[in-house]
Structure formats: structure tokens, C-alpha cells
Chains A and B, each alone.
Chain A
């Protein structure tokens, strides 16, 4: 299925779970990551079960330098 991840199109290879998408992007075990689907924050414990739909908009952020 096709998803929009940080404004870029990504094809999810396996299943429909949010955790699968994050695994595919090598972000599943990365600390300091937060994820929203269609602008709703999805907590880490829910990644495993959260089901994505075609064209869902996923936002993934991490901390960076700033004042």
C-alpha cells in the first residue's frame, strides 16, 4: 500500500501495521522518535497494532539542535 511519509510517497512492503512501516524505514528502534498518522499522535506502545490505510499521511519527527 502507498503511504505519504513526511510528504514523500513510500510503499509499505509487508502488512498494514504502523510498526511495519517504521521497521522498513529503520526507525522502529530509534530513540527520540514520535509518530503521527493524519495528524493524530500515535504512542509507541500502539505502533504494533495500529492499522494503516492507503494514502495515510504519516509524520515522523526527531529532536535536533535548536534554541
Chain B
């Protein structure tokens, strides 16, 4: 029994678990965990080359046909910097897909909504498939949809916090009214959080820290894969509604007392 496929831009995904590549203790472990996760969309960051010190080539570890790369603009503080980073990313990785993230404050890494909207509008015009990382702000997500982003990526809770869906009430509104895909990004710390997001009707989740820093990242990747599949399947199967009153699931013929 298969879940429905997810289409974003020109790509079709069978896995609704997107993954980041940060914080793994080694590139080999990253590769193994990402393969185990079943992920088909994998984020990468950009950094300045150190000409004296040629480090490990991450692309070597991501050279699998199922991995589509999603470069991010982490490190930029303004829309102008984001557009420059996007153009560099497109050049470096030969993809017009972009995770737009503008978080000027390193302490909480919260995305700047004004710069993000400005950058998204310009990047869409430049032909990018834009997936913006945003606060769980339904109004902002609508505005981003209007300027032509391919999906929105609202946070569950702050990046790397592992706190789960603290923004749940607002994520529900975003999911209810969005015409583009909703990918819950940031804060997902456990497979149960991922399953919860999927049961709510999120189209996908993006997980990085929770897999990368787990005691066994490969097993954790599998756990997330199963949770995302289960959560999506539950959503498609239509969950039973919660009720304020008890509802018997067995017949209430009190047969023990009957003579």
C-alpha cells in the first residue's frame, strides 16, 4: 500500500522525508544515514573555499541518483545577499532549486519575514524554484504563495531545538489554506514529531539535527522514514475525530450482571 506522490515544481517525490546534511560526525555516516532515510531531497549549504586547505568534497557523498540537491542560503542576512547566494548556488550545483533562508540573528536563527518575502519575489522572477524557510505565519505563507514560491517551509520550533511542533496551531492554519506544498522544517526532534506533522496534513518534513546527532544516525534515519510514511498514510486514511465524550468500541450489553 503506497502513499500518494508529492509534486513540487517539476519533480515528483515518493519520499516525503527531506533531509539536511549538517552536523553528521563524518561524511561517510551522513551518506549512509541519508540513503537509509529514503530521502530524495537533500539540503546543502555554501561556504567560501579555503584555497590553502581543500576539504572533503561533499558532492562525492551525495552522488546518488535519488538525491536531488537543495542548496540553502544559510549565512545571508538580507534579500540582496540571498539573491547573490542563490545565483552562486545555481552556478555551483546546476540546480535552480533553492531553500531560501534569511536569519540575521545567530542566537535564535529566526527567519526575517520581510527580507524573505522580498528575496522570494525576486528569485521567482529569476527562474528559481523557491522554498522559503519561514516562521509558522499563515499570512506570510499566503504572501509567499502569491509571489510564486513552489512550497513553504514553516518551522515547528527553532532550528536544531528538537522541541517538536510548538507552532502547531499556526501550522494547522497554514496547511488548511495553502495552495502550495507545506514542508515542516526545523525543530522536529523525534519521529513522533514527524508523524504528527504528517498526520496534520503537511506535505513533507525536513529533518536534519535529529538524525545527524542521534546515537545511531542510520537507525534514526530509518525510524524517521517509517514515521513519515505512517503519518502520511494515517492522513490519507482519514483519522477518526477526537471526541469530548467516551465512545464505546465494544457493545455495552452489561452481560456479566444479567441473569
Chain A residues with CB under 8 Å of chain B are 5-8, 10, 25-27, 30-36, 39, 41, 43-44, 59-67
Q: Which are the 3 A-B pairs with shortest beta-carbon distances? A: A66-B45, A67-B20, A67-B208
Looking at the assembled complex, report how far the CB atom of A12 sits from the nearest CB atom of chain B, in whole angstroms.
13
Contact A10 to B91, CB < 8 A, known contacts A63-B44, A65-B24, A67-B43: no
Contact A63 to B93, CB < 8 A, known contacts A6-B49, A26-B54, A36-B84: yes
Count of residues in B whose CB is under 8 Å from the partner chain: 38
**Among the listed A27, A36, A43, A44, which residue makes an inter-chain contact with B51, where contact means beta carbons less than 8 Å apart?**
A27
Q: Which residues of the partner chain B approach A33 to less than 8 Å between Cβ atoms?
A: 49, 92
Q: Which residues of the partner chain A approach B46 to less than 8 Å between Cβ atoms?
A: 34, 61-64, 66
Number of inter-chain CB pairs below 8 Å = 104
Chain B residues with CB under 8 Å of chain A are 20-24, 27, 30, 43-51, 54-55, 57-59, 69, 71-72, 74, 84, 87-93, 159-160, 206, 208-209
Looking at the assembled complex, report how far the CB atom of B31 sits from the nearest CB atom of chain A, in whole angstroms.
11
